[in-house]
Amino acid sequence: MNLFSYILVYRRFLLIVFTLLILLPLPIILHNKVASAYFKDFHLLLIGVICLATSIEKWNLHKRIALRMVMMVGVNPAWLTLGFMSSTAFLSMWLSNTSTAAMVMPIVEAVAQQLINAEAEVEATQMTCFSGSINHGLEIDECVNEHETNEKEEKTKPVPGHSNDAGKISSKVELEKNTVTGIKYRTKRDHMMCKLMSLCITYSSTIGGLTTITGTSTNLIFTEHFNMRYPECRCLNFGSWFLLSFPASIIILLLSWIWLQWLFLGFNFKMFKSGKTETVKEKACAEVIKQEYKKLGPIRSQEIVTLVLFIAMALLWFSRDPGFVSGWSALFSEYPGFATDSTVALLIGLLFFLIPAKKLTKTTPTGEIVAFDYSPLITWKEFQSVMPWDIAILVGGGFALADGCEESGLSKWIGNKLSPLGSLPIWLIILISSLLVTSLTEVASNPATITLLLPILSPLAEAIHVNPLYILIPSTLCTSFAFLLPVANPSNAVVFSYGHLSVMDMVKAGLGINIMGVAVVMLGVFTWMVPMFDLNTYPSWAPAISNGTMP
């Protein structure tokens, strides 16, 4: 292939590279600011993260990760739930909460139905034994699963006679019904299992999003607002946020798992037995998961490249400014503030448009197969379908509002009006602000809630002479605690649409997790977060106030 043919095949790659080189001097030449609030560091970081998310979803890497993690923990119902929660939370650290829930929920639905079908098969075997008849089609299962049949007999305690058992099962069927499909559940326990697995997905997707700055839009909004208001701090980055939020996320995830298990299926220590598959239900469930994994086929080169870029992005984020040692950003010390997390995200994100995924070929009139173009890992059209432009504009409006509050003096006025709150204990101020945010976010979108409250909470902290992080970190984390209602966040709506849940189910489950979440955040802000940011001292990077320590 001659040089011209190579240029023709890789013309888009060359166009992007040379366009960037030509436009590179523009930031130096132009010094005007035009609607800068709508295109800040946040937006560049969001674009890079969405490039990663688009590639992960396009090449099914997320599905492979989720299924592999579930296969590792086993299919005992309790451990299966924890496996789905762990994999969902991990994916939500890097993808949007909504897309994670939408991806995992069909897998969970298939597994739940398989569990129910397997249990129905076991009951049918039992009833055949009780009636004294022999079903040759189930004879093998009866022999292999004698232990489970005995276990079922103890649980159901049937009265003599086939008709009585059938009547009991029939009465249970009439009690439960899917609100969307209209399909009736066999037993109340089947319905409870479906409720449990639905809620574990939406809640774990929200909890996982707490863990990283890029995990949810509220974290990104807070980071950008904080860096704008306190540019001299430079204490918040990907690594420091991960260290402060990861312990809280793990504790909330485990407590949520226990709470949901107790609420819908009951809690006993037998749930902690080994994840080894033993019963018919568990074997059938494991088979479904294995078949889903086999459908993915062997890992493809596109998945490997996406995984490598994913790992590279995470490592560069962590190593930029880890805190305990100098990171790679020290190489650009002459330009402070230029090497940020968005630098990494944008650089790696650009590679997804450049790295070839496969060559596009055509057959010439002579019968020769030649390459005429290549397809990158993602295309602009695919990126556009995933990019939340509405969130980008909403956040830009929030930044413009914050700038207006600062320039007009409204922030200072609000701070002065709130200064009497300084007479309250600091723990009570943090608790009140956390509960306020948690309540508001149930009826308003998370980005809108944090955008509205940050310009109020920052001057409040300054007015009462408290390290701003003391109030802003717990308030930001609590903004994600939208667990109560289907409309509270999109991932709740996704699982609610499957018809297993009622609004009251979500209210009962979500109220408990809200309380646990606020309690864990309060625990964290007074324990491991204190030495990380020296929270007990009013910092030098905040507006100067006469007294230097917290009341």
Write out 107-119 in H/E/C secondary structure.
HHHHHHHHHHHHH
Coil, strand or helix: which one is 10? coil
Q: What is the mean pLDDT of residues 120-139?
A: 54
Q: Of 67, 103, 59, nearest to 290 (Cα)?
A: 67
The pLDDT of residue 120: 66
The pLDDT of residue 518: 95
Query: Which range, 72-81, 105-114, 144-153, 501-510, has the best average confidence (pLDDT)?
Result: 501-510
How does residue 177 score in pLDDT terms, banded at 50, 70 and 90?
low
Q: What is the mean pLDDT of residues 474-491?
A: 90
Structure tokens at 228: 């704008």
Sign for the pseudo-dihedral over CA of 367, 370, 372, 378: positive
Measured CA to CA in angstroms, residue 549 lies from 59, 235, 387, 424, 466 at distances of 53, 19, 44, 16, 8
Long-range contacts of 149-153 (CB under 8 A, 24+ apart): 149/122, 149/125, 151/279, 152/122, 152/123, 152/126, 153/126
Domain spans in the chain, listed from the N-terminal domain onward: 1-139+146-533
% of the chain exceeding 70 in pLDDT: 79
CA 303/CA 62 separation, integer angstroms: 10
Sign for the pseudo-dihedral over CA of 433, 436, 441, 445: negative
The pLDDT of residue 170: 38
CB 55 within 8 A of CB 378: yes
Amino acid found at 330: A
The pLDDT of residue 183: 65
The predicted model scores a pTM of 0.71
Structure tokens at 49: 């993260």
Residue that wins the pLDDT comparison between 467 and 30: 467
pLDDT, one tens digit per residue, over 369-388 is: 766 667 889 999 999 888 88
- Report the chain's mean pLDDT, rounded to a whole number: 79
CB 84 within 8 A of CB 262: no
Residue that wins the pLDDT comparison between 71 and 245: 245
Residue 255 has pLDDT above 90, yes or no: yes
CB 237 within 8 A of CB 38: no
Residue that wins the pLDDT comparison between 17 and 478: 478
Residue that wins the pLDDT comparison between 133 and 304: 304
Structure tokens at 474: 């717990």
CB 483 within 8 A of CB 203: yes
Residue 465: how many other CB atoms lie within 10 Å: 17
% of the chain exceeding 90 in pLDDT: 22
CA 168/CA 408 separation, integer angstroms: 71
Chain position carrying tokens 């976010």? 441
DSSP string of 255-314?
A: HHHHHHHHHHH---GGGGS-----SHHHHHHHHHHHHHHHHT-SPPHHHHHHHHHHHHHH
Sign for the pseudo-dihedral over CA of 538, 226, 404, 430: negative
How does residue 391 score in pLDDT terms, banded at 50, 70 and 90?
confident
Amino acid found at 243: L
Residue 512 has pLDDT above 90, yes or no: yes
Coil, strand or helix: which one is 363? strand
Q: What is the mean pLDDT of residues 120-126?
A: 62
Return the minimum-mean-pLDDT range out of 20-24, 120-124, 222-226.
Answer: 120-124
